[in-house]
Amino acid sequence: MTPSSLVPGQRLRLADAGEAADLAAFLARLIHYDRAAAVRLQAGSGVLGVFGRPPSFEVLAIRTARLAAADSFDLTVSAGQLTDALDAGGAETALPPAVTGPPWAGVLPPRGGWRPVPGLPGPAAVHGALAAAVAEFRSRDAALPEQRRTRGERDRIGREIWSRTLGDTGLPLRAVHAAQSLGFLRPAGGPAPDAAGLALYAAGGWLRLRTPYGSIAVRTGGLTGLTVTPA
């Protein structure tokens, strides 16, 4: 990224280098699934909200970071260019130029009105459901005869498995898979905050799985075309 590609005077001022490193790690995971990924940034009240949509999972990933100043802006930028800027500048850096946002960037979850959804299993059960789903996918994929070993057939198996809901919550398993793949769900048996901070909320046609490291939101109206292949 060249200096001329930056918006003059437009700065991102994070609270410290740790916030910058955590945000860069999140962006790197998004780029792993979509090299041309864009993210919507909303800054206000000392907090930066970062929204991205890894296409393989068809969910909205939400990461927050503390700001060093009460800046206020709302724009969509290239995830790759923002990562480059963070790598070069750390906690305070110039923001890359705004880009034309993809359709999802104009339809974000509501900021307020979230209510708890009962019935979310404990962390061990959540990890267990995810592990069982991954194992089932791999087993069914391995059992496919050669003539049926196609992308379409694998996608069909993925849609069937990842569209199942977690317990009685209505949350599709693809949301849990996305949370783990993006670093929001740490391994079972991890630090106590993982157990204390896992919660499910609903508002305005959305479900949001909140973890101590970020959130995954899904539209309750449903999304189609799931093509998740377990890593």
- Tell me the pLDDT tens digit for each residue of 73-106: 999 999 999 999 999 988 999 999 999 989 999 9
pLDDT digits (tens, 9 = 90+) for 206-219: 999 999 999 999 99
> Would residue 230 count as lying in a domain?
no
How many domains is the chain built from? 2
Same domain as 164, residue 84 = no
CB 208 within 8 A of CB 171: no
Q: Are residues 212 and 120 in the same domain?
A: yes
* Domain assignment of residue 74, yes or no: yes
Do 37 and 52 meet the contact criterion of CB atoms below 8 Å apart?
Answer: yes
Q: Which residue among 39, 71, 106 closes a domain?
A: 106
| Rounded Cα–Cα distance for residues 163 and 52 (Å) | 20
Q: How far is 56 from 162, CA to CA, in rounded Å? A: 11
Same domain, 200 and 119: yes
Q: At what angle do helices 17-33 and 79-89 cross, to 10 degrees?
A: 150
131-181 tens-digit pLDDT:
999 999 999 999 999 889 898 999 899 999 999 999 889 999 999 999 999
- Looking at the fold, whether 101 and 190 belong to one and the same domain comes out as no
**Residue 192 above 70 pLDDT?**
no
Token pair belonging to 136: 């089932």
Residue 195 has pLDDT above 80, yes or no: no
Does residue 63 form part of some domain?
Answer: yes
pLDDT bracket for residue 123 (50, 70, 90): confident
Is residue 135 domain-shared with residue 91, that is, in the same domain? no
The answer to whether residues 84 and 120 belong to one domain is no
Q: What is the pLDDT of residue 225?
A: 36
| Domain stop point among 52, 77, 106 | 106
Confirm whether 119 is domain-assigned.
yes
- Whether residue 229 lies inside any domain: the answer is no
Residue 196 has pLDDT above 90, yes or no: no
Q: Judge if 85 and 133 occupy the same domain.
A: no
Do residue 10 and residue 94 come from a single domain? yes
Same domain membership, residue 120 and residue 97: no
What pLDDT score does 139 carry? Answer: 95
Give the count of beta carbons closer than 10 Å to the beta carbon of residue 23.
22
Under a CB-based contact definition with an 8 Å cutoff, are residues 224 and 190 in contact? no
Average pLDDT, stretch 178-192? Answer: 75
Are 203 and 117 in contact by the 8 Å Cβ rule? The answer is no
> What are the pLDDT digits (tens) for 11-35?
999 999 999 999 999 999 999 999 9
In a domain, 226, yes or no: no
102 lies in the same domain as 14: yes
| Domain span at 212 | 115-219
CB 228, CB 134: distance < 8 Å? no
Q: What is the mean pLDDT of residues 126-134?
A: 93
DSSP 157-220: HHHHHHTSBSTTS--BHHHHHHHHHTTSSPPTT--HHHHHH-EEEEETTEEEEEETTEEEEEET
Least confident of 7-21, 109-123, 171-185: 7-21
pTM: 0.86
Q: Are residues 41 and 66 in the same domain?
A: yes
Domain at 13, CATH number? 3.10.150.10
- The answer to whether the CB of 173 falls within 8 A of the CB of 209 is no
95 falls within a domain: yes
pLDDT digits (tens, 9 = 90+) for 38-85: 999 999 999 999 999 998 888 999 999 999 988 899 999 999 999 999
